[in-house]
Structure 1
Amino acid sequence: MNAGSPRQQPGFLTALALTVAVLAVSSSAPLIAFAAAPALAIAFWRNGLAAVALTPITLGPRRAELTGATKRNLTFCVLSGLALAIHFATWMPSVQLGSVATATALVATQPVWQGLIAAAQGRRPSTAGWLGIALAVLGAAWATGADIGVSANAVLADVLALLGAVAAAVYTALGEQARSALSTTTYTWICYGTCAVVLLAVCLTAGVDLHGYNGETWLAILALVAGAQLLGHSMFSYALHRTSATTVSVLILLEVPGAALLAWLWLGQTPRPAALPGLALLLAGVAVVILGAARATRPAPPPPVLAD
């Protein structure tokens, strides 16, 4: 191989992009926990404002792509948006009900569920992949079991975070089909827009307050849109052109300690000692799944960057 290959030597700009992306997604859970607003409302504004931000590009330079999209691709975009709405409607409440560290770690099991979906589609994970799945499930059970003695809310938060991870995997599987023919901008505009519409309907039906928040909460919501929802996606996408998807996928796991550190320093949430071995085992299992998928003869699709 060429020693000067961009993928071998990502360079300063790529390293900077990855650093910014990890910091952006790491801020997601602490900002959700900090915001004095219902989780479903935060999810609606996060996706709705992101869709608005992407509208000038989608209806401008990408308009021909949008109008020329097939019914099949549009259907996958809409279904992906529905799965994303389920992801946000489960994971974001889990952050407010329980621990930021545990919720972030449990939702990071997305690649595990992704591997199981791939197996159901006939793309069986490697032996290392199955080992990683077993480790991750054991770690998740350990971390969840540690919360049984804490409170019913903590256990509910763990269950919601796991459901959020499963929904994220379904979102990925559906989005993979749409992204094969559409650009990231067009796909995310339809997906975020669909997600926002679904969440708006849920909020209105459930009587969730969508306004009347204090200034700090609105700043937190805007930070979520600009950071995890838009900036995190953009920087990871930039890095993917210059380094491997496996490297990026493993680096995304830094969101877990990053979110835990921010929650400790900013919100005073000290990780529960009893859950730490389980969280470490969970992260090790997810890393093995990602690396196993990269080395498999029939690689399972690597997890995309989800704006948590």
Structure 2
Amino acid sequence: MKRAGKLSGSIEFLYIVGIIAISFSSIFVRWSDAEVSVIAMYRLYLTNLILLPLAWKYRKELFRLKGRDWMWLALSGVALGFHFLFWMGSLRLTTVASSTVILTLEPILVMIGSYMLYRTRTNRVMIAGMMLAAIGSAAIGAGDFGMSDAALLGDALSLLGTVAVAVHMLIGKQLRERLEAFVYNFWVFGMAATTLGIYNVAEGIPLGERLSAIQLYAGLLILLGVWLFIRFGKEPPRIPLAAADKKG
């Protein structure tokens, strides 16, 4: 019993570390002058590169997938790729605070979607917290009406990114119930990165320009948070989807 309590405390601590690490991503994106689609692409590919040593352990599970699973994995990956494209793009146009607060609407969208698709119910405390997030987002958006058109466009991009990641979460719910967390994350991150790679090539965006060593170090810090979420990726399905919502 004592050991179980210690394990639970360790998981909670690592989740906190992961959230803090990932939270710095918006600041690093703001500092960088590289294209956001390139930053996001390398961030996701680096994640898969770090995961490769574990791929051998899950080699059978990685390819023991049905055709329908591949389709849903691809859709989840595309949605995640567009989330990074829209949200990170918003950071160049609006403030970090505005973009991040709008992103807090994600659990509300996930809650609505999970009820419509899976009939998942949410308790009143969670609903109250989500309503506060919605009010805060509305207040931030209203404040930007007095600023430039660029700030409003940034808010709109952040909202699109929020919708995209909510779609990613809703698609992932059914997959995470029958796939290993590693298998799900490995393929989805890879497909999201490939989606951004195709976008970069189609738009003629250079893949190596203006990427500094500092940005790569920053990316590694961000990956710490991503790895922690993957390491304990089996925990979220045990609680309501809206509450288990996680950000990358």
Range into which the TM-score falls when normalised by the shorter chain: 0.7 to 0.9
- Tell me how far apart the structure 1 counterparts of residues 216 and 41 of structure 2 sit (CA, whole Å): 10
Matches of residues 205-220 of structure 1 in structure 2 within 5 Å? 205-215=202-212, 218-220=213-215
Tell me which moved more, 13-22 or 84-93: 13-22
Correspondence for 2:221 among 227, 230, 235 = 227
- Tell me how far apart the structure 2 counterparts of residues 61 and 70 of structure 1 sit (CA, whole Å): 20
Deviation at 1:233, TM superposition (A): 3.0
For structure 2, which runs of at least 5 residues remain unmatched after alignment? none
Q: Residue type of the partner of 1:78? A: A
- On the 8 A contact 2:87/2:157 being kept in 1, the answer is yes
Q: Residue type of the partner of 2:173? A: E
Residue deviations 1:210-263 (CA, integer Å, cap 9, x gap):
112253xx4314422x233x321333455678xx869xxxxxxxxxxxxxxxxx
- Give SS of 2:244's match: coil
Count of residues in Structure 1 that have an aligned counterpart in Structure 2? 246
Q: Counterpart of 1:112?
A: 108
Q: Counterpart of 2:4?
A: 6
RMSD of the alignment, in Å?
A: 2.6
Q: Residue type of the partner of 2:227? A: S
Q: Counterpart of 1:52?
A: 49
- Tell me how far apart the structure 2 counterparts of residues 64 and 239 of structure 1 sit (CA, whole Å): 21
Q: Counterpart of 1:64?
A: 60
Matches of residues 1-308 of structure 1 in structure 2 within 5 Å? 4=2, 6-7=4-5, 10-11=8-9, 13-14=10-11, 16-58=13-55, 60-121=56-117, 122-215=119-212, 218-224=213-219, 226-228=220-222, 230-236=223-229, 299-307=240-248
Residue deviations 1:260-283 (CA, integer Å, cap 9, x gap):
xxxxxxxxxxxxxxxxxxxxxxxx
- Tell me how far apart the structure 1 counterparts of residues 52 and 7 of structure 2 sit (CA, whole Å): 35
Q: For residues 86 and 57 of structure 1, do their structure 2 counterparts lie closer, same or farther at Cα, with a shift above 3 Å needed?
A: same
Q: For residues 214 and 204 of structure 1, do their structure 2 counterparts lie closer, same or farther at Cα, with a shift above 3 Å needed?
A: closer
Q: For residues 208 and 169 of structure 1, do their structure 2 counterparts lie closer, same or farther at Cα, with a shift above 3 Å needed?
A: same
Deviation at 1:71, TM superposition (A): 1.9
Deviation at 1:143, TM superposition (A): 0.5
- On the 8 A contact 1:87/1:163 being kept in 2, the answer is yes
Q: TM-score of the superposition, structure 2-length normalised?
A: 0.86
- Tell me how far apart the structure 1 counterparts of residues 221 and 241 of structure 2 sit (CA, whole Å): 28
- On the 8 A contact 1:76/1:177 being kept in 2, the answer is no
- Give SS of 2:206's match: coil
Deviation at 1:28, TM superposition (A): 0.7
- On the 8 A contact 2:87/2:160 being kept in 1, the answer is yes
